[in-house]
Amino acid sequence: MSEARLTNYITSGSGRLMQRTPPRITVLLALAAVYLIWGSTYLALRFGLEGFPPFLLNGTRFTTAGALMYGYLRVRREAPPTRIQWFNAAKVASLMLVGGVGLVTIAEDLGVGSGVAAAAVAVIPVWAALVSGAFGSWPGRLEWSGLAIGLAGVVILAQEGDLRASTVGLVLVVVAPILWSIGSVWGTHLDLPGAGMTTATELLVGGLVLLLLGPLRGERFEAWPTTGSLFALLYLIVLGSIVAYTAYVFLLQNARPALATSYAYVNPAVAVALGMSLGAEIVTGPVYIALPLILVGVGIVAMAPGRRAIEEPGRIDGSVPLKDVA
Q: What DSSP line would sit under 127-168, residue for residue?
A: HHHHHGGGGT----HHHHHHHHHHHHHHHHHTTSHHHHH-HH
In a domain, 124, yes or no: yes
**What pLDDT does residue 218 have?**
92
**What pLDDT does residue 20 have?**
58
Check: CB of residue 214 under 8 Å from CB of residue 59: yes
Give the count of domains, the chain: 1
In a domain, 265, yes or no: yes
Per-residue pLDDT of the chain (326 residues; tens, 9 = 90+): 333 333 333 233 333 334 456 677 888 889 888 888 988 988 999 899 999 999 999 999 999 999 999 999 999 999 999 999 999 999 999 999 999 999 999 999 998 888 788 888 877 877 887 888 777 777 777 878 887 888 888 888 777 766 667 889 889 998 999 999 999 889 888 999 987 899 899 999 999 999 999 999 999 887 788 899 999 999 999 998 888 888 888 887 787 766 776 776 677 778 877 887 776 666 667 777 888 888 888 778 767 665 433 323 222 222 222 222 22
Parallel/antiparallel/unpaired status of strands 8-11 and 17-20:
antiparallel
In a domain, 314, yes or no: no
In a domain, 217, yes or no: yes
Backbone angles phi, psi at 319, to 5 degrees: -145, -10
The 3-class SS string of 217-250 reads: CCCCCCCCCCHHHHHHHHHHHHHHHHHHHHHHHH
In a domain, 194, yes or no: yes
In a domain, 13, yes or no: no
In a domain, 181, yes or no: yes
80 backbone φψ class: left, alpha, beta (φ>0; ψ -120 to 50): beta
Residue 175: burial class (beta carbons within 10 Å; 0-12, 13-18, 19+): middle
86 three-class SS = helix
In a domain, 7, yes or no: no
Residue 269: burial class (beta carbons within 10 Å; 0-12, 13-18, 19+): middle
pTM of the model: 0.74
The domain of 259 spans 24-303
pLDDT in tens, 61-87: 999 999 999 999 999 999 999 999 999
309 backbone φψ class: left, alpha, beta (φ>0; ψ -120 to 50): beta
